[in-house]
Structure 1
Amino acid sequence: MRTTLSLDDDVSVQLVRLQKTTGKSFKQVVNDALRLGLQQMSAPTLPRRPYSTPTVDLGPSLIGSLDKVSEVLAIVEGEAFR
């Protein structure tokens, strides 16, 4: 089958580079690339398992309640932080 393709510049450069390194004809390189791409696009995708972050118990807070930021800063930095 004959057809005309308009290739983006970056795709064309990659095809020419492959042609030079493999020694194949441009037509063969394009057909191989299309074949591989179509196989990947039509292959069923495996469902991904959602990632969950493991939890770690750090124990109780060493400075008491962390609910009030000003109290925590006073304990950690001293009263001079204000």
Structure 2
Amino acid sequence: MRTTVTLDPDTAAIVERSMRERNIGFKQAINDAIRAGVSASSAGTTFRTKTYDMGMPMVNLDRALQLAADLEDDEAIRKMRDSR
């Protein structure tokens, strides 16, 4: 694939240094940098979320949307009362 790339000065310096040190061309330096970046990010550790036992729910969560609507209604009523 052929494309135009505009490099920031710091990344251009990294590519130029790689070209000099390894005696390779621009295309090879860019391709190697992309491959190294992709493989480094995919080799990261798996993110885990800690879980905690919070006991039995105090509210029936089968009707969570209804509960949210009721809370929203209560807040709207409070705001109307406060604005008088």
Aligned residue runs from structure 1 range 1-82, under 5 A: 1-46=1-46
Deviations 1:45-78 (A, max 9, x none): 2458xxxxxxxxxxxxxxxxxxxxxxxxxxxxxx
CA distance in 1: counterparts of 2:11 and 2:3, whole angstroms: 17
Shift in Å, 1:43: 2.7
**Greater RCO, 1 or 2 (C-alpha within 8 Å, sep 6+):** 2
User: Rg larger in 1 or in 2?
Assistant: 1
TM-score by length of 2: 0.50
Structure 1: runs of 5 or more not aligned: 49-82
Deviations 1:14-68 (A, max 9, x none): 11011011101111011001001011122342458xxxxxxxxxxxxxxxxxxxx
More helix by share: 2
Identity of aligned pairs, percent?
Answer: 42
CA distance in 2: counterparts of 1:10 and 1:35, whole angstroms: 19
**RMSD of aligned Cα (Å):** 1.8
Aligned length: 48
Structure 2: runs of 5 or more not aligned: 49-84
TM-score by length of 1: 0.51
